[in-house]
């Protein structure tokens, strides 16, 4: 009996030491992606899921520098939203809506659901769309946002917190798969490059392992240049810039002081005559 107790103590001590790697995502990546990675690490993962997640993180660490900032943002955001829209069979929103009742139900359910950051972002986005449509009658024909909101509201009403966690884990898993696939195809067809997933990662930029000490950067990494936050000033998409702004003069270092004449210059006595070498 005593031997069994000692064995259990040893076993639990060993389990306590075998901590799972925790990744800190670079803050300038899309916010929903930062939340997704942070939340996914808090879900209950089996060994296979942990291994797949680690491989996905390493793949992203290798491939993110292969894309531009705008391409990377577009891939992550488009695959996230497409996956969310297609994840569940959408219910039709009711024709007669009582906003006050919906507000009360939604806020109460969200409070009691013990949501992870990605789930909070998702439900907040749905709720914001719902409020915008209710307040702006010109948006009343926007059925997709309403259908999304009421489909997920039904999830909040009829699922337990643990069931919601499980559902969100599966959604997150599918988003990561779709981002990885789209990113791999994009690099293959745009750069004609096959990604070597077994490549050794010498230095992490996008996903820092929490227990690793980050060295103080003296020189700015070229990789981080693609991570500057996307804004109207840092990213101009085709068709966004106004035509008149394209013709505005750019500031340049132009020497507007004319050169002084050479005092020793002697002009020629005669200039050469033009020659017609074009034929008759």
Rounded to an integer, the average pLDDT of 32-51 is 95
Query: What is the per-residue pLDDT for 266?
Result: 74
Higher per-residue pLDDT: 27 or 254: 27
Q: What is the mean pLDDT of the chain?
A: 77
- pLDDT computed for residue 7 by the predictor: 45
Alpha carbon distance 130, 26 (integer Å): 31
36 and 80 in contact (C-beta within 8 Å)? yes
Tell me the pTM: 0.68
Mention every residue, 6+ apart, whose C-beta is less than 8 A from residue 123: 106, 110, 115, 152, 156
Higher pLDDT, 136 or 260: 136
- Give tens-digit pLDDT for 168-227: 999 999 999 999 999 999 988 887 677 776 778 888 999 999 864 444 444 444 444 444
Dihedral sign (CA 26, 186, 175, 42): negative
pLDDT for the residue 257 = 53
In this predicted structure, which of 47-51, 192-196, 258-262 has the lowest mean pLDDT? 258-262
Q: Go through the chain and tell me how many residues it has.
A: 280
Sign of CA dihedral 54, 174, 206, 19: negative
Q: Which of the given ranges, 49-63, 227-241, 251-265, has the highest pLDDT on average?
A: 49-63
Q: Give pLDDT tens digits for 102-122.
A: 999 998 999 888 899 999 999
Ranges assigned E (strand) in 75-216: 207-209
pLDDT digits (tens, 9 = 90+) for 54-84: 999 999 999 998 889 899 999 999 999 999 9
pLDDT of residue 261: 67
């Amino acid at each position: 009996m005593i031997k069994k107790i000692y064995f259990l103590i040893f076993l639990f001590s060993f389990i306590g030491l075998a901590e799972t790697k925790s990744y800190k995502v670079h803050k300038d990546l899309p916010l929903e992606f930062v939340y997704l990675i942070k939340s996914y690490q808090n879900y209950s993962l089996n060994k296979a899921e942990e291994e797949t997640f680690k491989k996905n993180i390493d793949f992203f660490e290798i491939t993110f520098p292969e894309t531009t900032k705008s391409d990377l943002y577009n891939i992550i955001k488009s695959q996230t939203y497409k996956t969310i829209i297609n994840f569940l069979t959408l219910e039709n929103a009711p024709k007669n809506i009582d906003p006050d009742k919906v507000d009360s139900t939604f806020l109460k359910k969200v409070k009691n659901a013990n949501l992870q950051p990605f789930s909070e972002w998702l439900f907040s986005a749905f709720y914001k769309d719902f409020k915008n449509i209710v307040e702006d009658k010109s948006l009343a024909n926007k059925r997709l946002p309403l259908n999304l909101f009421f489909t997920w509201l039904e999830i909040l009403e009829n699922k337990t917190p643990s069931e919601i966690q499980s559902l969100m884990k599966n959604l997150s898993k599918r988003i990561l798969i779709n981002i990885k696939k789209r990113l791999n195809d994009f690099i293959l067809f745009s750069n004609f490059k096959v990604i070597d997933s077994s490549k050794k990662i010498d230095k992490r930029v996008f996903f820092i392992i929490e227990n690793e000490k980050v060295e103080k950067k003296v020189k700015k990494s070229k990789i981080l240049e693609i991570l500057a936050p996307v804004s109207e000033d840092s990213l101009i998409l085709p068709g966004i810039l106004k035509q008149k702004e394209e013709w505005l003069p750019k500031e340049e270092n132009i020497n507007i002081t004319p050169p002084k004449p050479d005092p020793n210059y002697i002009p020629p006595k005669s200039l050469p005559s033009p020659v017609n070498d074009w034929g008759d």
